[in-house]
Every structure is written in C-alpha cells, then in structure tokens.
Amino acid sequence: MADGVKTRIKVPEQVKAGDVFSIKTLITHQMETGQRVNILGLRIPRSIIHRFHCTFNGETVVDMAMQPGIAVNPFFEFDAQIDESGTFEFTWYDDDGSVYSDAADVSIG
C-alpha cells in the first residue's frame, strides 16, 4: 500500500429527485509513471491508481480506466442524478493490489 493515501469526496447531503448535481473526488497518490529514472539511471517502477469506479446503490455512475498520464493526486468531477435516497460508493484500484474506498449517503429532500 502506498503511503499516506487519503480519499476526499464532495457530494451534497440532500438533493431534489431528478436534479443534476456534481460529485468531486480526490485521492492522494504519487502516481509514479514508470518513466522516470533515479540518480543511478535506474527506472522507478510504475505505481499508479489504474481504475476508479463510482456506484449509486450498486449501479455504475462512472467507471474510469486511468493511465500514467493522469496527474498526481487524481481528481475527478462528474454529474449524477438520483430518484431515491441511497449511498454513493467510490472505489480506487492501485497497481500494488490495494483497494481504497469511500462512501457518501445522499437523501432526497
């Protein structure tokens, strides 16, 4: 597991049914590209988050496949729309096999 990985999500607590709202997510991660070399001229192995998946009550909202071209501390913003209260679940998949997850409850108001 990479050191100091922290997830941050921004989701409204309450929305109106059918309203479009935006979700922002961020995970702290060094996103080592595998292209850099160290002082000895040796390549630093690739270590990135390669997939991000967001679901609402089990249904996919967005599913992203990421390459090393995504900048350090991957950030995403996207839109969602719901008709019932429920839980957004966010999952990040690391090259080293670690899986990081976070969740947010949203109610209809």
Partner 1 sequence: MTVTRRHVICASASVAAVGLVGPAKAQQHVVDPDAITAEQAEAEFVRGAEVSEGGVIIDLPDLVDDGYRVLVKLDAPGASELMLIAPGNPIPPILNVTFGPGSASRRVTSRMRLGQSQTVIALARMPNGTVRRTTHDVQVLVGGCG
Q: Which residues bind partner 1 (CB under 8 A)?
A: 3, 20-21, 30, 32-39, 41-45, 47, 54-56, 59-82
Please say which residue, 41 or 97, places its beta carbon nearer to partner 1: 41
Strands of the sheet with 86-94, listed across from one edge: 14-15, 99-108, 86-94, 49-56
Give the separation between CA 89 and CA 85, rounded to whole angstroms: 13
| Sign of the C-alpha dihedral computed for residues 63, 68, 71 and 74 taken in this order | positive
Least distance (Å) between residue 29 CB and partner 1? 12
Quick one: 96 or 99, whose CB is closer to partner 1? Answer: 96
CB of 23: closest distance to partner 1 in angstroms? 10
Q: For residues 3 and 11, give the distance between their C-alpha atoms in angstroms, rounded to a whole number.
A: 25
Q: Which is nearer to partner 1, 9 or 66 (CB)?
A: 66
> Which one, 44 or 103, has the nearer CB to partner 1?
44
Q: Give the nearest distance from C-beta 51 to partner 1 in angstroms.
A: 10
CB of residue 93 vs partner 1: minimum separation in angstroms? 14
